[in-house]
Amino acid sequence: MLKYFIPALVFMHLFSFPLLGQTIENQVDILRQNMLDPDISTLNKILASDLVYGHSNGKIEDKKAFIENLQNGNYDFTEITLKDQTIKTSKHIAIVRHTLYAKTNDKKVPAEVNLKILMVWKKEGKTWQLWERQAVKILVP
């Protein structure tokens, strides 16, 4: 009986929770989910210790500042949609580009953003971590 029970638990675990380190696509989605509903433990695993997080207004943050701003409501994403994503990988580096459409409530002020995002992920052990991120505003004529 035990020989069937343990594999069943492993199977259920694999398909119940997103595993850190599976794929770049998963890591990007885990980041998106944590921008909506921050989990500090998860963010600490998927963000590189020397993260450089660039905003579309030119502001640059490190890992600590980015997490603090998600925690304290300075960045409050209520919806995030990613489109037109492309991924280019090498052994330990991945470059991700996409368009981010989001509704925000930063500091209790509702807004919408349309951004082009460039992210550089690096593989640390078996886990892909966000190393660099830069956003630019989409100009509407």
- Residue 13: predicted pLDDT: 43
> Which of 130, 34, 117 is closest to 77 using CA atoms?
34
Residue that the structure tokens 């989910």 belong to: 33
- Residue 78, number of CB atoms within 10 A of its CB: 12
Q: What is the mean pLDDT of residues 95-124?
A: 96
- Residue 3: predicted pLDDT: 55
Domains and CATH numbers, the chain: 23-137 (3.10.450.50)
Number of helical (H) and strand (E) elements in the chain, helices listed first? 4, 6
Q: Is the pLDDT of residue 21 over 60?
A: no
- pLDDT above 90 as % of the chain: 78
**Hey, is 133 helix, strand or coil?**
strand
Q: What is the mean pLDDT of residues 79-104?
A: 97
- Residue 85: predicted pLDDT: 98
Q: Is the pLDDT of residue 139 over 80?
A: yes
Q: Give the tokens for residue 121.
A: 């992920």
- Residue 140: predicted pLDDT: 74
Q: Is the pLDDT of residue 16 over 80?
A: no
**Hey, is 63 helix, strand or coil?**
helix
Q: Is the pLDDT of residue 108 over 50?
A: yes
According to DSSP, residue 36 is labeled H
Q: Is the whole-model pTM more than 0.95?
A: no
CB 45 within 8 A of CB 20: yes
Question: What's the rounded Cα separation, in Å, for the pair 51 and 14?
Answer: 28
